[in-house]
Amino acid sequence: MRSQKNKYEISSELKEKTSWFRRRLRTWFKTNHRNFPWREITRTPYEVLIAEIMLRRTKAGTVAQFYPAFLKKYPDFAHLAKANTKSVQKLIKPLGLWRQKAPVFLAVAKSVSENKGQLPSTREELESLSHIGQYISSVILTTFHGNAEPFIDVNTARVVDRFFGPRKLVDIRYDPYLKAVSKEIVKNKRESLQLNWAILDFAALVCKAIKPLCSKCPMESQCLYAQKLESID
């Protein structure tokens, strides 16, 4: 694990802007949120973990179509750990990347099964498991252990880069500015999970990678990316 040196200190001005962004994002999410089965209150750590592996480089809408069938056949870590690669590949083939994802499912299931079928409750222990990195660790810690961790992926990074200003490092996992701003946005433990979902939904529906809908963005007035576009026009 890379050293966490050179932490970025959030200025009072940036805190104010983050607070403004959070309020607008919260309001937007109330009427524009997406509903997925892995967001239901009855979800288990296993169900959330399976969803997150499926979501790697695959659209959420596509995952939602095939997610129930996977859970029906493999309802927990124990059942999945006993599966064979070809059976898992056949089941997830419609998702794409089935050759890459099937071994990941099996490796994770076997790793957790060896840990008495329970996911650890600390970041260090989670990231020591096969194929579980920063992102999934943050999801598990926030969803089930009351932490306030940002879900930093390319979508969250895009929103932060555009609204607050670009990060310094190409690798989003280690950029201190991106991590600090993202954490500031979701710092309230009571609503951290909802705010993380809000950023992901906002990135998918408004702040898109290609052709973002700036005219429909509730944050446009303070967005650096939108201001840059206006100056070009």
pLDDT recorded at residue 233: 61
Please, are residues 60 and 34 in contact by the beta-carbon 8 Å criterion? yes
Predicted confidence (pLDDT) per residue in 197-211, tens digit: 999 999 999 999 999
Helices (H) and strands (E) in the chain, counts: 12, 0
pLDDT recorded at residue 231: 78
Instruction: Match 């509730």 to its residue by tokens.
Output: 218
Distance CA 77, CA 172 (A): 30
Predicted confidence (pLDDT) per residue in 16-72, tens digit: 999 999 999 999 999 999 999 999 999 999 999 999 999 999 999 999 999 999 999
Output the furthest CA–CA distance in the chain (Å, rounded): 60
Please, are residues 95 and 89 in contact by the beta-carbon 8 Å criterion? no
pLDDT recorded at residue 2: 46
Helix (H) / strand (E) containing 114? none
| Structure letter (DSSP) for residue 3 | -
* pTM of the shown model: 0.93
Predicted confidence (pLDDT) per residue in 89-108, tens digit: 999 999 989 999 999 999 99
Helical axes 134-145 vs 192-205, angle rounded to 10°: 130
